[in-house]
Structure 1
Amino acid sequence: MLELTITGARVLRPGGWDSGTLAMAGGQLQADPVGRRVDLSGYDVLPGIVDPHGDGFERHMAPRRGALRERDSGMVACAAELAACGITTAVLAQFWSWEGGMRGPDFATEVFAAVGAVAPSVPVDLRLQLRLESFFIESFPQALAAVERFGIGYVVFNDHLPHARLAEGRTPRRLTGQALKSGRSPEAHLALMQRLHAGGAEVPAALDGVCTALAARDVRMGSHDDRDGAMRANWRARGVTISEFPETVEAAEAARAAGEPVILGAPNVVRGASHAGNISALSLIEAGLCDALASDYHYPSPARAAWRCVELGVLDAADAWALVSDGPARLLGLTDRGRLDSGLRADLVVVERETRRIVASIAGGQVAWMSGAVAERFF
């Protein structure tokens, strides 16, 4: 682990920028200077990014359907990409779904095993999230077993069944493509969706049971794509207290009124709109209805989204960066990171002041990624 003191840089503290020193040793930030000094004049130092939800690892784990099964090496490459994007803590969001293929339980188990094998050997803190399809109740026992086996601390509930079209007897959109991804024929895929949809009356009791079991294991729980206040209230009654990517102002306001954290997608901020046509994340941030930004499907987006909030005058630098560091750390219960304070983990990113390009990431006091001229300052 590094033992050194950074000097000359502009440092983003909880209260804003300052020009003081930043020391680290034993994987933690120190109150007083230690070790050798590293002059980072011209650079900015910010807290490492905590990503509470991202599935960008899929391109590493399965770069081409059926072509490769080198899961461990894919996860090593993913950890490098995370670090290059300034992410020092990453929650890897893996589906556990009837959709099959890369969203099915078999692939999920491979991902969980790969993270377990690779995580001890990389500086970036890799964590797991299981995204459980709420109508896939026949798999709930196996999902709970996976939570236990792999020490998964965060479960989020989704529902990707096209209920409206199924109820109307119409063929779901993109059926053939989705069936091919699942490894099923279109007819078999449709029959599965119809069966799950028809079993909707059994879902509430099954969700009550699985949520009770997860709470007994101290697993954090979130709901995905809350549509309104009533939907948020239903999840709240089950102890599901995190609202991921609410689709409307009403849903986000309902979460905030109950003191529940709201996670929004960083790509939504970068684009200026939701790719799915839902509420703009920027409008929710302006309304004070966002606690954390997540990479969702694009690891470079958290840093870019924070700067976008600054560029548009929505937030100052400290508050904008908190959405990708302190905010997500708090909702995940990670009190040892997210800020540049003595005694916390030495998780930080070094940024070129003029370009805002991330040139170095340090996670837990270890170099996770470094590039270009800044490396000469350290070595």
Structure 2
Amino acid sequence: MKSNPYDSGAGAKSATVLGNARIVLADRVIERGWVAMDGGHIAEFGEGQAPAGSDDAAGDLIMPGLIELHTDHLEAHYVPRPKVHWDPVAAVVSYDGQLATCGITTVLDSLRIGNEADVADASGQAEILATAISSAREANLLRADHFLHLRCETPMPSTVEEAKRLIDRPDIRLMSLMDHTPGQRQFRDEGKLRDYYRGKTGGFTDAQLDEMFARRHACQLAYAETNTRAIVSLAHEHGIPLASHDDTTDDNVREAIRDRVAVAEFPTTIEAARGLHRVGIGILMGAPNVVRGGSHSGNIAAVDLAREGLLDILSSDYVPSSLLMAALQLPQHVPAIDLSAAIRTVTKRPADAVGLSDRGEIAVGKRADLIRVHVAGNASVVRSVWREGLRVA
């Protein structure tokens, strides 16, 4: 049996070594190997029998911690029922615990910028939630590493003012250009949007929706273009990557190119995805889309994009557990995508997209953000989670 070079003597281990595992590297899988964490980083990994005294992973997968670029799931913890606002720090801690147990070790918390108070209780709360995230971080209450993603709804009159109040925060890693005006992008079919709001609000009449849609159209005409130019300028001035959202047409693609976006979130058509891919813009799709077998809005299926080589990044969006599920399912849907390539869509590629080059893969010197995953048939469970070498779940 190999000696353990990570043993400090007298039986006390100075590092954690995980053995008897399938190690998911960025470019291949070690079917039986081991990985050592020391000082918060990956110290070494190898094939075959692990050093003596290593922890037995019982053949489970060891992979990088998942990296999430777009989830607004925090809002479900902050507003668990209509008109019920939970303690914001407690909401952040609860949400963080759910992410960690789903294998997410780095998350960009998506905060709504641009007040949509007529349809969403969590609108206009970005500053409260950003402050709560900082408070939880400073109190060492968080398991995952949290950054911010400002979701800027460009047709809303308050968008630029709200963004400016947050823009100097050092934890902002992404800003996205949103426009949910009825009749275009995600909701080209206004009937789908009506169904969405009826289900979300539980009781809007057609007359009320007509009034809401009229207000949205008026706001888009009055504010969208001016706000878009201001948000793009803010992002570039502060060196923050930009994302487009729900690109649908060739005009949307041209706008994304003009605005120098790094990531295109949830393109709705194959034509838009092809155009974005041609110019090197990373394409992000929803993991629930993969798990469900299609878009809940009737748009392009993520798996169809994957079959054409047009899928770069997955996001859990509104179901945290879907991120790991979708990555593990991708090779079944698209045989050309092996396990390493599938896991890159939820680790290395999202990390690279927002400049987090210190994580996202098992490589010597990278952060020791790792997860142990047990797979049984089509089901899986995250058994253990380490962030910077410390067990957090």
Secondary structure of the structure 2 residue equivalent to 1:148: coil
Deviations 1:298-356 (A, max 9, x none): 00101111111122335211111111111111111111111101100111110124353
Partner of 1:309: 330
Q: Check if 1:37 corresponds to 2:54.
A: yes
CA distance in 1, matches of 2:166, 2:121: 15
Aligned residue identity for 2:351: A
CA distance in 2, matches of 1:70, 1:35: 47
Out of 29, 39, 55, the residue aligned to residue 26 of structure 1 is 39
Unaligned runs of 5+ in 1: 165-169, 370-379
Secondary structure of the structure 2 residue equivalent to 1:42: coil
Partner of 2:99: 82
Out of 18, 43, 56, the residue aligned to residue 6 of structure 1 is 18
Cα offset, 1:21, TM superposition: 2.2
Deviations 1:53-103 (A, max 9, x none): 112222211111233431111111111111111111111112223322646
Q: Check if 1:56 corresponds to 2:73.
A: yes
> TM-score, normalised on structure 2?
0.83
Unaligned runs of 5+ in 2: 1-12, 185-190
| Aligned residues of 2:79 and 2:121 also touching (Cα < 8 A) | no
Aligned residue identity for 2:29: W
Partner of 2:289: 268
CA distance in 2, matches of 1:179, 1:310: 33
Evaluate the alpha carbon distance shift between residue 127 and residue 175 of structure 1 in structure 2; reply closer, same or farther with a 3 A threshold: closer
Q: Which has the higher contact order (CA 8 A, sep 6+)?
A: 1
Partner of 1:93: 110
Cα offset, 1:364, TM superposition: 1.8
| Aligned residues of 2:152 and 2:159 also touching (Cα < 8 A) | no
Partner of 2:124: 106
CA distance in 2, matches of 1:343, 1:55: 31
Cα offset, 1:234, TM superposition: 1.0
Out of 326, 329, 333, the residue aligned to residue 351 of structure 2 is 329
Aligned residue identity for 1:364: E
CA distance in 1, matches of 2:367, 2:34: 16
Cα offset, 1:268, TM superposition: 0.3
> TM-score, normalised on structure 1?
0.86
Secondary structure of the structure 2 residue equivalent to 1:155: strand
CA distance in 1, matches of 2:51, 2:38: 7
Q: Check if 1:157 corresponds to 2:177.
A: yes
CA distance in 2, matches of 1:213, 1:226: 21
Secondary structure of the structure 2 residue equivalent to 1:247: coil
Secondary structure of the structure 1 residue equivalent to 2:365: coil
| Aligned residues of 1:102 and 1:108 also touching (Cα < 8 A) | no
The alignment-based identity, stated in percent, is 27
Evaluate the alpha carbon distance shift between residue 190 and residue 38 of structure 1 in structure 2; reply closer, same or farther with a 3 A threshold: same
Partner of 1:255: 276
Secondary structure of the structure 2 residue equivalent to 1:156: strand
Aligned residue identity for 1:213: L
| Aligned residues of 1:57 and 1:75 also touching (Cα < 8 A) | yes
Aligned residue identity for 1:344: K
Aligned CA RMSD, in angstroms, stands at: 3.1
Partner of 1:66: 83
Deviations 1:20-75 (A, max 9, x none): 32111121110379995212232221111111111222221111123343111111
Cα offset, 1:178, TM superposition: 9.2
Deviations 1:134-176 (A, max 9, x none): 1114431222222225742211111122257xxxxx9x83798
Aligned residue identity for 2:374: E
CA distance in 2, matches of 1:146, 1:187: 36
Q: Check if 1:368 corresponds to 2:386.
A: no
